[in-house]
Amino acid sequence: MRTTLIAGNWKMNKNVDESLQFAKDLINMYNTKKNIEVLICPPYTALYSLGKKFKGSGIKLGAQNMFYEESGAYTGEISPDMIKNCGAEYVIIGHSERRKYFGETDEIINKKLISALKYNILPILCVGENLSQREKGQEKNIVRKQLIEGYKNISYADASKITVAYEPVWAIGTGKNASSDQACEMASFIRTTISEIYDYEISEKMLILYGGSVKGENAAELLGKKDIDGALVGGASLKADEFIKIINSGSKKTGDQL
Ligand code: PGA
């Protein structure tokens, strides 16, 4: 059985004080579970203090992005070693907001994946189509291309460490989530594509998350689907009590005690 991963992507929200307050609230409400990983991806500025705060709590830390170079004259950028040194075990790569507002291409995303893996940081690769692509029925072609280019030159052993998050752009921050059937269809398409690039075994072991307007009230239905192993949660991860509802929906999937 695959584990379930519930990840919070705070985007550009919460200063250090607010992050620490959230961490305190979440730790108070959260009991470590066997088959669930809980992950918080705060802004860079809060990584170090949350790394300390989460130590021993069972809650994992991730960054929302990183640069692929190791060090040097790249003003404003953050390296894999820097995020790892703060305690980050995961990094989100290729989020649609990075693709849209910061011009990240599949080629850049591929370099970031390779660099994260070199530093033993677990990448969460985001893929997904926008509204006009979905309306034209192109969602599978788009996601397939993002996967093929994203995984370029990545060895079998490294590929097995990547989690993929299917995040249809039209569902992000809009309050309109993909239906559980739409999300599951794309998750199983991602599994098939990875089995074509690598093999069946890796595609069955890998985690596939759904992201896009996941909230307490729709999490159980989305997570109930066989090919969906967790959620990447934006807005609803900003409040500890809402986020814990999503974690509890994940517990129902794995049969963990609440
Ligand atoms: P949302 O964001 O949950 O606010 O839709 C999800 C994401 O962008 O990862």
**Who contacts 244 (Cβ-Cβ below 8 Å, separation ≥6)?**
26, 29, 30
Residue nearest to atom 1 of ligand 1 (CA): 234
DSSP 166: E
- Measure 247 CA to ligand 1 centroid, in angstroms: 16
- Measure 182 CA to ligand 1 centroid, in angstroms: 17
Question: How does pLDDT run across 204-240, given as a tens digit for each residue?
Answer: 999 999 999 999 999 999 999 999 999 999 999 999 9
**Ligand 1 pocket test: which of 233, 237, 242, 246 has the largest number of ligand atoms within 8 Å of its C-beta?**
233
3-state DSSP assignment of residue 115: helix
Average pLDDT of every residue of the chain: 96
CA separation (Å) from 214 to 60, 185, 235, 249?
Answer: 20, 17, 8, 11
CA separation (Å) from 29 to 23, 57, 244, 245, 247?
Answer: 10, 11, 7, 10, 11
Strands 36-41 and 4-9, sheet pairing: parallel
- Number of the ligand 1 atom closest to the C-alpha atom of 97: 8
Question: How does pLDDT run across 145-204, given as a tens digit for each residue?
Answer: 999 999 999 999 999 999 999 999 999 999 989 999 999 999 999 999 999 999 999 999
- Number of the ligand 1 atom closest to the C-alpha atom of 174: 5
Report the catalytic residues. 95, 167
| Pocket lined around ligand 1, Cβ cut-off 6 Å | 9, 167, 172-173, 211-214, 232-236
10 Å Cβ neighbour count for 181?
10
The pLDDT value given to residue 6 = 97
3-state DSSP assignment of residue 257: coil
Strands 4-9 and 208-211, sheet pairing: unpaired
Contact 106, 126 (CB under 8 A): no
Residue nearest to atom 3 of ligand 1 (CA): 234
Chain-centroid distance, C-alpha 207 = 10
- Measure 229 CA to ligand 1 centroid, in angstroms: 16
Question: How does pLDDT run across 74-110, given as a tens digit for each residue?
Answer: 999 999 999 999 999 999 999 999 999 999 999 999 9
Q: What are phi and psi of 131, to 5 degrees?
A: -65, -45
User: In terms of pTM, does the model score above 0.95?
Assistant: yes
- Cα-based torsion angle of the residue sequence 257, 20, 235, 125 in order, rounded to the nearest 10 degrees: -80
Spatial CA neighbour of 229 closest among 250, 202, 252, 213: 250
The pLDDT value given to residue 257 = 58
Residue nearest to atom 7 of ligand 1 (CA): 234
Predicted confidence (pLDDT) at residue 25 exceeds the cutoff of 70: yes
C-alpha span between 24 and 40 (Å, rounded)? 13
